[in-house]
Amino acid sequence: MADSRLVPTNPAEYRFAVHCCGYKLDLTDKPDRAVGLFEHRAVAYQFGRLLWPDTFEVIDIATGEKV
């Protein structure tokens, strides 16, 4: 039985994707996949800044533009 204290996840609610952008350090030549999806822009930005302070990018999935 599912835990009644957890809200079911709805992927449509996650609007911001964080990419680590290894290509900026010449670590790869392949397209960079998102490493995290977030509902709030500020949380996505903080996650990227903590893990990859100089290379991350946050993309708005709805518009496809860099935040």
pTM of the predicted structure, to 2 decimals? 0.84
pLDDT band at 1 (very low <50, low <70, confident <90, very high): low
Domain count, the chain: 1
| 49-56 mean pLDDT | 95
- Whether 2 is covered by a domain: the verdict is no
Residue that wins the pLDDT comparison between 40 and 6: 40
- Whether 32 is covered by a domain: the verdict is yes
At 45 the three-state DSSP class reads: helix
Q: Which residues pair with 17 in a beta bridge?
A: 37, 59
- Whether 38 is covered by a domain: the verdict is yes
- Whether 23 is covered by a domain: the verdict is yes
CB 23 within 8 A of CB 47: no
What domain range includes position 51? 11-60
Residue 2 has pLDDT above 80, yes or no: no
Q: How far is CA 52 from CA 3, 7, 20, 47, 58, in A?
A: 33, 30, 6, 8, 11
